[in-house]
Structure 1
Amino acid sequence: MSVRRRLMTRFIGLLAGTVILILVIGGSIAYWVIQQLNEASLVEDFATVGLDQLISTAEILPDGNVKYDPGLLKRIEENDGWLQILDEQGRVLDAFHTPPDVPDHYKPGELISYWQGKKPFPYELYLLIRERKGINFTLLYGENNQAASMLEQVYNGGRYANNKLELAPGHQDIIRTADAYLQILDEQGREVTSFNKPASGIPDSYSLQDLILRTRYPARYGMTTVTSYDEQNHSTWMLSVPLGSNPAGSNENPFGFILGPALIALLVSIISLLILLAVWYANLFGYPMLHMLQWLQRLERGQYEEPAGPRGRPLSQKENGKWRRNYRVYTEVLGSIQTLSDTLRQDKELRRQTDSLREEWIAGITHDLKTPLSSIQGYAHMLEAEKYQWTSGEVREFAGIMLDKSMYMDRLVNDLAMTYRLRSGGYQPPIEQTDINALLQDLVHRAERNPAYGEGRITFQPAQIEVQGHVHIPSFERIVDNLTANALLHNPPETKLIVSVQSGEEAGDFIVQFTDNGRGMDQETVWKLFERYYRGTDTAAPDVGSGLGMAVTKGLIEAMKGRIEVRSNPKEGTEIRLIWDVHSRAGTK
Structure 2
Amino acid sequence: MSIRRRLMTRFIGLLAGAVILILVLGGSIAYWVIQQLNEASLVDDFASVGLEQLISTAEILPDGTVQYDPALLKRVEENNGWLQVLDEQGRVVDAFHTPSDVPNHYKPGQLLSYWEGKKPFPYQLYLLIRERKGINFTLLYGESNQAVTILDQVYTDGSYANGKLVLPSEQQDILRSADAYLEILDEQGHILTSFNKPALGTPDSYSIQDLILRTRYPTRYGITTVTIYDEQDQLTWMLSVPLASSPAGMNENPFGFIFGPALAALLVSIIILLVLLAFWYANRFGYPMLHMLQWLQRLERGHYEEPAGTRGKPRSQKRNGKWRQKYRVYAEVLHSIQSLSSTLKRDEELRRQTDSLREEWIAGITHDLKTPLSSIQGYAHMLEAEKYNWTSEEIREFAGIMLDKSMYMDRLVNDLSMTYRLRSGGYQPPIEQTDVNALLQDLVHRAERNPAYGEGRITFQPATVAVQGYVHIPSFERIVDNLTANALLHNPPQTKLTVRVEPGEQAGDFLIQFADDGRGMDQETVWRLFERYYRGTDTATSDVGSGLGMAVTKGLIEAMKGRIEVQSHPDQGTTIRLIWDRHSNEAK
Please show how residues 241-280 of structure 1 align to structure 2 within 5 Å: 241-250=241-250, 252-280=252-280
Using the alignment, how far apart are the partners of 2:61 and 2:274 within structure 1? 49
C-alpha deviation, 1:356, in angstroms = 6.6
Q: Distance in 1 between matches of 2:97 and 2:224?
A: 22
Which amino acid in the other structure matches residue 243 of structure 1?
L
Q: What residue in structure 2 maps to residue 323 of structure 1?
A: 323
Q: Does 1:125 align with 2:121?
A: no
Correspondence 1:323-472 to 2 at 5 A: 323-352=323-352, 355=355
Structure 1: distance between partners of 2:334 and 2:41: 62
Q: Deviations over 1:473-507 (max 9, x none)?
A: xxxxxxxxxxxxxxxxxxxxxxxxxxxxxxxxxxx
Q: Aligned partners of 1:278, 1:249: CA distance in 2, in Å?
A: 44
Cα offset for 1:79?
0.2
The residue type paired with residue 8 of structure 1 is M
Identity of aligned residues (%): 80
Partner Cα distance (2:311, 2:47) in 1: 74
| Equivalent position SS for 1:257 | helix
**Map 1:68-217 → 2, pairs under 5 A:** 68-217=68-217
Deviations 1:175-216, CA, capped at 9 Å, x for gaps: 111111111111111111111111122111111111111111
TM-score when normalising by structure 2: 0.60
Offset, 1:96: 0.4
Distance in 1 between residues matched to 2:15 and 2:62, nearest whole Å: 51
User: In the alignment, residue 87 of structure 2 is paired with which amino acid?
Assistant: D
User: How far does residue 86 in structure 1 lie from its aligned partner after superposition?
Assistant: 0.5
User: Partner of 2:407 in structure 1?
Assistant: none
Residue 105 of structure 1: CA displacement? 0.3
Cα distance in 1 between the residues matched to 2:62 and 2:305: 78
> Deviations 1:111-146 (Å, cap 9, x if unpaired)?
001000001101000000011121111100000010
- Match of 2:345, SS state, is helix
Q: How many residues align?
A: 370
The whole-number CA distance in structure 2 between the counterparts of 1:261 and 1:252 is 17
Specify the SS of the correspondent of 1:199: coil
Residue segments in structure 1 that go unaligned for 5+ positions in a row: 367-589
CA distance in 2, matches of 1:174, 1:338: 93
**Which protein shows a greater Rg?**
2
Partner residue, 2:50? 50
Deviation at 1:314, TM superposition (A): 1.7
Aligned partners of 1:278 and 1:348: how far apart in 2?
41
d(CA) in 2 for partners of 1:180 and 1:27? Answer: 43
Deviations 1:148-199 (A, max 9, x none): 0000000000011111110000101111111111111111111111111111
Query: C-alpha distance in 2, partners of 1:71/1:251?
Result: 24
AA paired with 1:104?
A: N
* Residues 20-59 of structure 1 aligned to structure 2 (within 5 Å): 20-59=20-59
2: distance between equivalents of 1:221 and 1:215? 10
Does 338-347 or 74-83 show the bigger shift?
338-347
Contact 2:127 2:138 in 1 (8 A): yes
Structure 1 residue 345, shift from structure 2 partner? 1.5
Q: How far did residue 360 of structure 1 move?
A: 10
The aligned residue for residue 283 of structure 1 is 283
- Residue 232 of structure 2 is matched in structure 1 by 232
Secondary structure, counterpart of 1:289 in structure 2: helix
Q: CA deviation at 1:16?
A: 1.7
Q: Distance in 1 between matches of 2:75 and 2:197?
A: 32
Indicate if the aligned counterparts of 2:65 and 2:94 stay in contact, CA closer than 8 A: no
1:317 is matched by which residue type in structure 2? Answer: Q
State the one-letter code of the partner of 2:285: F
Displacement of 1:63 in angstroms is 4.9
Offset of residue 220 of structure 1: 0.9
- What letter matches 1:156 in structure 2? T
1:307 Cα deviation (Å)? 1.7
SS in 2 for 1:299: helix
Q: CA deviation at 1:286?
A: 2.2
Distance across 2 between alignment mates of 1:255 and 1:107: 42
The CA distance in 2 between the partners of 1:149 and 1:136, in whole Å, is 32
Per-residue CA deviations over 1:536-587 (Å, capped at 9, x if unaligned) read xxxxxxxxxxxxxxxxxxxxxxxxxxxxxxxxxxxxxxxxxxxxxxxxxxxx
Greater CA deviation, 259-268 or 349-358? Answer: 349-358
Determine the C-alpha separation between the residues in 1 that align with 2:62 and 2:22. 43
Q: Which residue does the alignment assign to 1:303? A: 303
1:357 deviates by 8.1
CA distance in 2, matches of 1:212, 1:328: 68
RMSD of aligned alpha carbons: 2.6
> What CA deviation, in whole Å up to 9, does each residue of 1:422-470 have, x standing for no partner?
xxxxxxxxxxxxxxxxxxxxxxxxxxxxxxxxxxxxxxxxxxxxxxxxx
Distance 1:194 1:9 in 2: 73
Partner residue, 2:6 = 6
How far residue 249 of structure 1 moved from its aligned partner, in angstroms, is 2.9
Matched residues in 1 for 2:63 and 2:279: separation? 59
Structure 1 position 39, deviation (Å): 0.5
Quick one: which amino acid aligns to residue 138 of structure 2? Answer: T
SS in 2 for 1:108: coil
TM-score by length of 1: 0.60
